[in-house]
Amino acid sequence: MKRVGMLTSGGDCQALNATMRGVVKGLYNLLGGNVEIYGFEEGYKGLIYNEYRLLTGKDFSGILTKGGTILGSSRQPFKEMRNPDENGMDKVAAMKNNYRRHELDCLVILGGNGTQKTANLLREEGLNIIHLPKTIDNDIWGTDMTFGFQSAVDIATDCIDCIHTTAASHGRVFIVEVMGHKVGWLPLHAGIAGGADIVLIPEIPYDIDKVCEAIQKRTRAKKGFTILAVAEGAISKEDAKLSKKEYKAKMANYAYPSVSYELAELIKQKTGADVRVTVPGHTQRGGSPNAYDRVLSTRLGAKAAKLIVDGKYGYMVGIVNGETCKVPLGEVAGKLKGVDPDAGIIKEAKMIGISFGD
């Protein structure tokens, strides 16, 4: 009997259920049903406080198309994992004890960068771990694609598509703020797919004068409107030169809800344009996974099941050059996969006239 623990940690996304389904269906088919699934609720919180459910194959039936996570999720910051909880409990020791209490053969952890760092910590503590790369940001090192990304691209693109008609009708400048705190994969792909005229991402600090110049160029060409796809973590060239301490101090007294509203005010001041801001926010993480993510999740889940059956632990399951692969957790944990400003996709976007404000 294989005893497998499973949890989903951090922000949710559309394909968590689809990925868990891939793991469980793979295990049932490979082991003939000779498996027990322990679903820890609300991420690492469930593992710390032993809040779990015994799950069967029926729990994973019909969830391929269901967004969110049937196990629930929560954020348990990696930097606080070594700190005792409010009652003095050693969280790492508690997770190890609960793993051993249930005599688990391994723990399957679905999550992004912070989740991955804790997964690697547990691996270093001697637990058998498999990590599956979830994030709409597509910023996990060692895999070409994370599940959730393409579904979020579809939603952000649809938002930009919808903005086109109202922007054209009123001759306005519209800023669509797309999720992407530290990396710009999502606004980059959505911006290109949605036909945005300007795309601002964290990896390419913007010059506000260059942004306004691109807007005015369209105005002179009688284009009538301009659409900007702006990462929530977009940063100006001036701010990019600040130290972390200086930037943190500036943001502590920031007068705007987000960078998009500051951009809107500056653009209005410098160009006189009528500017509006649209923030799709958490809709980008919601709804059903698209077809691409359903396929990707199923493949990653099946690969994870094979590793479990073969007793190969300590890996993240990724996809590289179209093939699933196992990547040692210790080699990727803590690494961020950003957009290379010199990448082909940036150069090609510039070729068709998209401005990055640089």
* DSSP-assigned letters across all residues of 100-145: HHTT-SEEEEEE-HHHHHHHHHHHHTT--EEEEEB-TT--BTT-S-
Q: Does the CA dihedral 301-307-308-313 come out positive or negative?
A: negative
Query: Is residue 137 among the annotated active site residues?
Result: yes
Sheet holding 35-40, edge to edge: 52-55, 35-40, 2-8, 106-111, 129-133, 315-320, 323-328
Residues 324 and 124: beta-carbon distance below 8 Å: no
Q: Please list, residue by residue across 41-74, b when 16 or more beta carbons sit within 10 angstroms of its beta carbon and e when fewer do.
A: bbbbbbbbbeebeebeeebbeebbebbbbbbbbe
Q: Which of 59, 85, 105, 137 is catalytic?
A: 137
User: Residue with structure tokens 């803590």?
Assistant: 334
- Quote the Cα angle for 171-181-112, to 5°: 135
- Decide if 307 contacts 317 (C-beta within 8 A): yes
Distance, CA of 306 to CA of 304 (rounded, Å): 5
Tokens of residue 180, six digits: 């992407």
Pairing of strands 315-320, 323-328: antiparallel
Q: Which of 80, 82, 70, 79 is nearest to 43 (CA)?
A: 70
User: Nearest Cα to 114, choosing from 152, 79, 149, 73?
Assistant: 79
Which residues participate in catalysis according to the annotation? 137
